[in-house]
Structure 1
Amino acid sequence: MPLTTTRELVLSAAAERRAVPAFNVITLEYAEAITAGASAAGIPVILQISENAVRFHGGQVEPMARAAAQVARDCDIDIALHLDHVTDIGLLHKAAEAGFSSAMFDAGAQPYAENRAATLAAARWAHGAGLWLEAELGYVGGKPDAPASAHAAGVRTDPQEAAHYVADTGVDALAVAVGSSHAMTERSATLDHALIERLRDAVPVPLVLHGSSGVGDDELRRAVGAGISKVNIGTALGVAFTRAVRDALAAKPDAVDPRRYLARGREAIAEAVCRLSAVVSG
């Protein structure tokens, strides 16, 4: 099938008071596994390639983007391609040509005024290039440049400030800090659902939850019910993949053909995607 757009998937989810899952892609095996898991669940998904993943691939965005897009086209469900957590404006300017329909410009580590100014410039460029743009206000925990805790004073997104920010920048979606943290390997995060509801009422664009790997199923369902429309998941796939590869190598320590253990990792990601997609989409 042809690729769909992030705009279509997220706006449709928001209108139906559900969320679309967005899964991080690091290697080709991830793209294959995510599409397989989503197809098994029958649920549309977003394939996300982050700036960190681009850096891992030598700073070249197109090879992984083109490969992920082709895998998506061979799938029987709606899939969009999104460039995530971009801080390098030069990388943002490559997004449309590389085949992305959307990007997340991340100036969240900057003070409010600098974040607003940088995001306004990014949004103007993105819209001129036909891209749907997500931004972040507040500090989602777990990033090197964020406060140590997602529960520290002053890190969560303020609804009134968020309303002004969206109006001033013209962004299409807003990632909010409501208690989740990036890179969590245990699902123990507690979200502020009342804050999510206040943000939903204050902000006229879809809300995005980052750091969702550390959020349990019931918390995710409540967050979607409160107003989250896009749920980003990355670390949970790495946990599933790595555990499966370790188990495969432990069972056959003399294995040298990577296809044998990578296949198990790919299967584990697909299983995780199938389950988590059902949780997120309701």
Structure 2
Amino acid sequence: MPLVTTGELVTRAAAERCAVAAFNIITLEHIEAVIAGAESAEAPVVLQVSENAVRFRYGRLLPLARAAVAAAERAAVPVALHLDHVQSDDLLRQAPGAGFSSVMYDAACLPYAQNLAATRAAADWAHAQGLWIEAELGQIGGKDGQPALDAHAPGARTDPTQARAFVTDSGVDALAVAIGSAHAMTTRTATLDHDRLKRLAATLDVPLVLHGSSGVPDAELTAAVAGGIAKVNIGTALNIAMTGAIRTYLAAHPEAVDSRKYLSVGREAMVRAVAGIIGTLTNA
């Protein structure tokens, strides 16, 4: 079916008090696995390409983006394409022509005033292009001379009052909030600050996003969705599934040289991971 927009998926999820899963893709196998897993779960899904993934692909966005668009157009479920954690303005400006309906503009490591100015400029440009835009706010520095904390630094938490001002002044369509998750976690041991999430949901009038969800246990994810999270980002969980399956296959078949053999095993492991995560969100 034709590509849908991230904005419509997330807006609908927020209205229905549920969440849409957004998976970071790196290879064609990731793309195929995410779509197959979503089809198995009979649920819409967001394919995300991060700036780091573009850097890995020799700095070229179009090859992976075009593969994602082609796969999405043949999917049996709604699929949206999202450009994730963009810090480069040059990359941001490639989004509309590459099939993306949304971007996450990441200036969260900057001091608040600079973060706000950069995000406001990005939002103005994105909206002029018809793009939905997400941003991120960690913990603002300044108290006792402390620097700003990135949203996924240990101990970082988004302040609801500051978040309300940031959303109002920046004009973003969704906000990723710091409530205890962290990027690149390989164990599901994160404990979320559900009281803070409750206050954020009551204070903000835009959908809330949870980054770093691979390290969040099922029960915590379920509670986060019930508390107001409308978009759940997952990346590392797919890489864990793929790498683990390939390691097991190659250990059992040391003579293997045909990459199709072990990549297919890795891809199927990701399909199962995707379906399982979507199942958790669906039952939240």
Same fold (TM over 0.5): yes
Q: Is the 8 A contact 1:179 1:191 kept in 2?
A: yes
Q: SS at the partner of 2:77?
A: coil
Amino acid at match of 1:172: D
Instruction: Output the CA distance in 1 between the equivalents of 2:95 and 2:6.
Output: 13
Which aligned pairs between 1:232-271 and structure 2 lie closer than 5 A? 232-271=233-272
Q: Is the 8 A contact 1:21 1:281 kept in 2?
A: no
- Name the % identity: 59
Deviations 1:222-264 (A, max 9, x none): 0000010000000000000000000110110010000000000
Structure 2, unaligned runs of 5 or more: 140-147
In the superposition, relative to structure 1, how do residues 247 and 146 fare at CA in structure 2: closer, same or farther (>3 Å)? Answer: farther
Aligned length: 275
Q: SS at the partner of 2:126?
A: helix
Which aligned pairs between 1:107-186 and structure 2 lie closer than 5 A? 107-138=107-138, 150-152=153-155, 155-186=156-187
Task: Give the aligned partner of residue 25 of structure 1.
Answer: 25
Instruction: Output the CA distance in 2 between the equivalents of 1:40 and 1:148.
Output: 33
In the superposition, relative to structure 1, how do residues 146 and 246 fare at CA in structure 2: closer, same or farther (>3 Å)? Answer: farther
Structure 1 residue ranges (4+ consecutive) displaced by more than 3 angstroms after TM superposition: 145-151
Instruction: Output the CA distance in 2 between the equivalents of 1:23 and 1:236.
Output: 9
Q: Is the 8 A contact 1:187 1:215 kept in 2?
A: yes
Which aligned pairs between 1:189-204 and structure 2 lie closer than 5 A? 189-204=190-205
Task: Give the aligned partner of residue 142 of structure 1.
Answer: none
Instruction: Output the CA distance in 1 between the equivalents of 2:175 and 2:187.
Output: 25
Task: Give the aligned partner of residue 229 of structure 2.
Answer: 228
Q: SS at the partner of 1:4?
A: coil
Q: Is the 8 A contact 2:151 2:157 kept in 1?
A: no
For normalisation by structure 1, the TM-score amounts to: 0.95
Query: Cα distance, 1:278 vs. partner?
Result: 1.1
Query: Cα distance, 1:149 vs. partner?
Result: 7.2
Instruction: Output the CA distance in 2 between the equivalents of 1:76 and 1:67.
Output: 16
For normalisation by structure 2, the TM-score amounts to: 0.95
Task: Give the aligned partner of residue 145 of structure 2.
Answer: none
Instruction: Output the CA distance in 2 between the equivalents of 1:24 and 1:133.
Output: 17
Task: Give the aligned partner of residue 216 of structure 2.
Answer: 215
Question: Alignment RMSD, CA only?
Answer: 1.3
